[in-house]
Amino acid sequence: MINRTLDNRYTILERVGGGGMADVYRAHDTLLDRSVAVKVLRSQFTDDEEFVTRFRREAQAAARLSHPNIVNIYDVGRDGDAYYIIMEYISGETLKERIQREGPLPVETAVRIALEIAEALEHAHQNNLVHCDIKSHNILTTRAGRVKVTDFGIAKAVTAATMTQTSTIIGSVHYFSPEQAKGVAVSAKSDIYSLGVVLFEMLTGTVPFQGETPISIALKHLQEQPPMPRSLNPAIPPLVEAIVLQAMAKEPDQRFSDIGYMIADLKKAQNYLRDDQTRRISKDDFPTQVLPRVPHAEVYEEAEPAKKPVPVWKRGWFWTFLGLLILGFAFGAFLAFGKFWSLNEVVVPNVVGKQTESARTVLMNENLRVSVATEYSDKVPSGIVISQNPEAGSTVKEQRMITITVSKGTEVTVVPDLKGLNRRDAELQIKNAGLLLGRVDEVFATDVPADTVINQNPRSPAQINKGTTVDLVVSKGAGPRKIVLPDFRGTPLPTVTTQLESLKLSVGSVTEVPNTQYPAGTVTGQSPVPGSEVVEGSTIDLTVAKSASGATKRAVVQITVPEGAARQVVQIVLTDTNGRRVAYESAHKPGDRIEQSVEGVGQVKVQVYINGTLLQEQLL
């Protein structure tokens, strides 16, 4: 699937996860230029027409959900043999990964996460959608710490399609409700049970039931009571333990009547934990919070099923309240349009562009009432009237309500934290926050991968106006290696060229100049100078000695070794335009006669040394 583009829009970039039913990929939406998550059903489920129909219906239903704790679903489609769902891409980790990394979470954190999951489930249940697969693997946490519930829609379709195929149970057996383990119809209370398991896992660091096979774990959900959470983590307050045990009651009727009741108890626990930390209430207040739930949870085996509450619409006070509400609404609507019994009419003045209080004064002076609404505007300064209703010039009766819309100024947004993101993802986050990409500086950084954001301005979590630019500093990688330049003077040019190649340097310009100090063809100078630091790929300019012009002179040197030591070293040294060099060197005994031909260019000087002592010297 990698690099495949679905429906000419979603280009799949990398696999980021998956389960038994589908694989999840990160993709790029080429139309809206943003990162998205793509869930693609595995091929073994695409041939079941009933499953495909249920899958599409459930996915479309999930797409109608809109809640800050639910991963948004953008699109549902099919491309060839691939059935896919396009979802919001969350750059973070799963709750399961966090528990595996940290172990038991702090009680306050566990309650907060459970509360956010419950609020997401409440929104789904109100839209007649049951998740059916709540587990810590399906809970994502963003960089900002917000909880996101994913996998709505698919789990229910999978359960319906596979329960009749074999005698086995397919799914997340550690989080199953007893009714799911039986293979019977599930309800919103199944989600409550699974959420209780997730809360148990967050508080203790482990799931309540373990086994060697999925069937053995499913049987424990049916037959065994979970261990008391406080036996595994004594830091858990009784109130929180009571919530876990009631949510995990074997019989659905013994659980919370609906997720709203569980939310209420979680908020109560959250308030208790907060107050206990700050000592804003006394310990005597605690029993009034915990007693209604603890007995029911701790003796759940003997507890009677909860009585179903009488529907609100069957209570007498409801109809009385509804009647008064309708009368009050009608009376308020009547007043909103002014004194209809009055014959006085006024022309609505124009207050657009005026300060709020000035506009209010102008309207009230015309015996009109004023209602103020606000909205963001990047064109109208804060506190200035943008529009009015009814419009200026309209004729209305006295006391008519005039609604003026006042600018709140440019909308403010929080700067996202971009450090550590690759450049493309950082640009997408800037765009999604309603901000603009500013200057991008690239610098070498040895410890940061290339194309990764090192710094930003403004920094997160600053609050700035939408439309403001955000500057980035992006890594260019470790950069080229630095090299200390050797001294090449006196070395033949071919040898220097080979050395430069081995150092990943290159030869620049080569200039030949006459030189009497170095032999022809050897390097006499270099730029940069020896000992300088250069980077890989740099070019080195060289100066090379060339032979000086002039006639070649030849001569024969004759020497008789004088009396003295039995072994005497004879050297004939020649100095000419090309420099000084040894033309002959050997050991002789006294009385030996030596004849040696020499030649040089330009002014030639011949020197004879015996055991390092100058014996004779002549010019040719």
Give strand pairing partners of 413.
464
What DSSP line would sit under 101-137, residue for residue?
HH-SPPHHHHHHHHHHHHHHHHHHHHTT-------GG
3-state secondary structure (DSSP) of residue 361: helix
DSSP state of 388: E
Compute the distance between CA of residue 23 and CA of residue 16 in angstroms, rounded to an integer.
8
d(CA 1, CA 40): 9
Region class of 402: left (phi > 0), else alpha (psi between -120 and 50), else beta: beta
Tokens of 600: 């040089």
**Nearest by Cα to 347 from 359, 369, 328, 363:** 363
H or E element in which residue 263 lies: helix 259-278
The full 3-state SS of 136-154, as one line of letters, equals HHHEEECCCCCEEECCCCH
Classified as helix, coil or strand, 86 is strand
Exposure pattern of 196-223 as b/e (b: 16+ CB <10 Å)? bbbbbbbbbebbbbeeeebeebbebbee
Active site residue 133: yes
* Sequence-distant (≥ 6) Cβ neighbours of residue 480 within 8 angstroms: 535, 536, 537
Helix H or strand E segment including 204: helix 188-204
Contact 197, 174 (CB under 8 A): yes
Omega before 287 within 30 of 0, i.e. cis: no
Specify the DSSP element, H or E, that contains 431.
Answer: helix 423-432
d(C-alpha 34, C-alpha 81), whole Å = 25
DSSP states of 19-76 as a string? -SSEEEEEEEETTTTEEEEEEEE-GGGTT-HHHHHHHHHHHHHHHT---TTB--EEEE
Catalytic member of 133, 151, 265, 576: 133
Chain centre to alpha carbon of residue 183? 39
Query: Which residues are known catalytic residues?
Result: 133
